Amino acid sequence: MKKAEYPIDKKEWSPSLIPGPITLISTCDQAKEPNVAPKSWLQMAAFEPPTLMFSGSKENTTEKNILAAGCFAVNLVDSSMAVKVYGCIKWSGRERIRKMGITLSPARKIGAPLVDQCRAHLECVLRGTKEVGGGFVVFGEIVAAFVREDILAAPPEDRYRLLDQVVFLENGLYARVRDACPAQAAKDELPGRWTRYVITLIRTDKPMTEALVRRHVAHLKDLDRRGRLVLCGPFQDHEGGMVIVRADSLDEARAMAEADPFVREGAETYGLRAWELSCEENDHMGMG
Ligand SMILES: Cc1cc2nc3c(=O)[nH]c(=O)nc-3n(C[C@H](O)[C@H](O)[C@H](O)COP(=O)(O)O)c2cc1C
């Protein structure tokens, strides 16, 4: 396929050719006043000692605080926070923290706070800076790292979905990192990689109440938090709905269907079928 020339100015990129992880960098000034700002020009710089780098501006509070206090924390942003993070830069300082509805806790090893609502944090000590053109690159040695316990307790193939990290694409657009794909040949693939389970929910005569719908939604949210929910929603004809889940077996999927308050309390019956994904990635089951 012929290639078209593309702008070298990143601001004009659509699609972006270098997406970066969206993080909140938290710092304190010398009077212990906290600050939190989004950064996405961030990546690893060295394994030994573990060092990351991000690019910012010397005019920003974040970089001023880091130069003054010698440390910062990187808080990973997930999709539930993404819109708030994009919108937060119209405020600054304490007002930004308050308007975002985030709370802060002390870090373990550094004098910068951690954002409680984030699922993972890296505590960093300043190891150097470098000015490049208009950019100001900060190098931080990672001295402590934390990840939410339920993410570490989940099977490795579910962990990225639970971390639900987001990357910056362009102004006003982000992407979710949810599908961890094994980088190995198809013959070594994990069994069930392409299997999902479809639960069809069918209304009975029992009346729906708002409280029951909320219990059903709490069940869906629990499936999602455990990395099991793929898609869900009611049919527009109000005759029921469909929930697509990941499970290790038909029995596990059946247990999920039967745990649904709609089913448990008799407002809906369900049908369950194992479903094989046919997609570009598996060459439409080898038939593409
Ligand atoms: C999603 C997102 C990613 C951002 N990434 C960066 C970045 O990597 N580097 C940077 O200097 N500014 C970045 N910004 C802009 C800063 O967050 C913004 O200039 C902010 O006001 C700086 O705040 P501070 O003065 O409190 O440090 C980003 C903004 C958003 C919304």
Atom number in ligand 1 closest to CA 36: 26
Mutating to test ligand 1, I would choose from 27, 62, 137 the residue with most ligand atoms within 8 A of its C-beta, which is: 62
Would you state the pLDDT for residue 158?
85
Q: How many CB atoms lie within 10 A of CB 83?
A: 11
Q: Where are the domains of the chain?
A: 10-177, 195-283
CA distance 23 to 41: 9
What is the CATH topology of the domain spanning 195-283?
Alpha-Beta Plaits (3.30.70)
Give the C-alpha distances (Å, rounded to integers) separating 277 from 182, 195, 197, 283, 285: 16, 6, 10, 10, 8
Summarised one tens digit per residue, pLDDT across range 179-191 is 888 777 655 567 7
CA of 38 to the centre of ligand 1 (A): 5
CA of 256 to the centre of ligand 1 (A): 41
CA of 92 to the centre of ligand 1 (A): 11
Summarised one tens digit per residue, pLDDT across range 165-182 is 999 999 999 999 988 887
Pocket flag, ligand 1, residue 55 (CB < 6 Å): yes
CA distance 159 to 180: 9
Atom number in ligand 1 closest to CA 135: 11
**Phi, psi at 13, each rounded to 5°:** -75, 125
Pocket flag, ligand 1, residue 39 (CB < 6 Å): yes
As given in the structure block, the two tokens for residue 11 are: 């601001």
CA of 39 to the centre of ligand 1 (A): 5
Instruction: Decide yes or no: CATH 2.30.110.10 for domain 10-177.
Output: yes
CA distance 65 to 80: 27
Q: Is the peptide bond before 49 cis (omega within 30 degrees of 0)?
A: yes
| DSSP annotation of 9 | -
pTM of the predicted structure, to 2 decimals: 0.86
Contact in structure between 275 and 281 (CB atoms under 8 Å)? no
pLDDT tens, the chain, 288 aa long: 999 999 999 999 999 999 999 999 999 999 999 999 999 999 999 999 999 999 999 999 999 999 999 999 999 999 999 999 999 999 999 999 999 999 999 999 999 999 999 999 999 999 999 999 999 999 999 999 999 999 999 888 789 999 999 999 999 999 999 888 877 765 556 778 899 999 999 999 999 999 999 999 999 999 988 889 999 999 999 899 999 999 999 999 999 999 999 999 999 999 999 999 999 888 899 898
Nearest residue by C-alpha to atom 2 in ligand 1: 38
